[in-house]
Amino acid sequence: MILLVVAGIVLVGIFSLAQEANRRWQYRQEVAQLQKKAQGLEAKVIELDNLNTYFRTEEYQEKLAREKLNFRAEGEQVVLVPRDHEEVEVTSQVIESEEKNYSNPELWWRVFFVPDNLS
């Protein structure tokens, strides 16, 4: 009888130790994940700090002024270049169609019988 009680106590003790070992292992895994996350955040903070330092430089401020505020230095000339050749063609077609003044019946004729409303 005593042997069964001792065996039961030993089994409960082993079960308790196994649960504690499992909890410790889970905590270690969680700590490792949190450390990785902290390292990633530290790297991001360093990157953002470097970016912030760049934003404060005169080089960036001048670039931003040129792009957003159309700033130009003294003695410089600004040349505007269209981004896409097609945009220029479309704009010229729109201008040409606007230049022609059609009478009201001609406009209705164009709506129904001229494909894509081109001249």
Do 68 and 118 lie in one domain? The reply is no
How far out from the chain centre does Cα 52 lie? 18
CA distance 37 to 52: 22
Do 16 and 63 lie in one domain? The reply is yes
Cβ–Cβ < 8 Å for 110, 117: yes
Cβ–Cβ < 8 Å for 85, 66: no
3-state SS assignment for residue 116: helix
- Could you tell me which residue, 31 or 92, shows the higher pLDDT? 31
Do 18 and 37 lie in one domain? The reply is yes
Do 46 and 97 lie in one domain? The reply is no
Do 17 and 46 lie in one domain? The reply is yes
What confidence score (pLDDT) does residue 100 get? 67
Do 49 and 95 lie in one domain? The reply is no
What confidence score (pLDDT) does residue 92 get? 54
Q: In terms of residue numbers, what domain contains 94? A: 81-119
Do 64 and 10 lie in one domain? The reply is yes
pTM, two decimals, is 0.45
Do 51 and 86 lie in one domain? The reply is no
What confidence score (pLDDT) does residue 17 get? 95
Do 46 and 85 lie in one domain? The reply is no
- Could you tell me which residue, 72 or 54, shows the higher pLDDT? 54
**Helical spans, DSSP H, in the chain:** 2-55, 58-69, 85-99, 104-113
The total number of structural domains in the chain stands at 2
Tokens 């955040």 map to which residue?
Answer: 41
What confidence score (pLDDT) does residue 91 get? 56
Q: What does the pLDDT average to over 29-55?
A: 96
Question: Token pair for residue 76?
Answer: 């410089």
Q: What does the pLDDT average to over 25-40?
A: 97
Per-residue pLDDT tens for 86-115? Answer: 555 555 555 555 556 778 888 888 888 877
